[in-house]
Amino acid sequence: MYIVCTSALLEINRHLEMSVATNGEFLAREGELAREMHFILSGQIHILKRNGECDIELFEGAILGEVCLVFDMPSPYDAEVRF
């Protein structure tokens, strides 16, 4: 059972910003400290291995960067936008 607290959701929403990423843009670079998290609304994000090959694909509904942001740690991967 979920109880939705409208005031809490409104407070979170006040801090969100919509942005559009372009094909080939990197949302995270390995070793950089996270300053934001991303909610994937459309398109794909490729999590890349060190050799540049795609290791994981993230799609609509996925969240990227939340762990690094919460724990103030550098990104362990490169994350590239793909359409």
Question: What integer is the mean pLDDT of 30-47?
Answer: 94
Give the span between the Cα atoms of 1 and 11, in whole angstroms: 22
pLDDT in tens, 49-82: 999 999 999 999 999 999 999 999 999 999 999 9
| Position 4 pLDDT exceeds 70 | no
Q: What is the pLDDT of residue 11?
A: 86
Residue type present at position 45: I
Give the span between the Cα atoms of 79 and 19, in whole angstroms: 16
Q: List domains and CATH numbers for the chain.
A: 19-82 (2.60.120.10)
Q: What is the pLDDT of residue 2?
A: 63
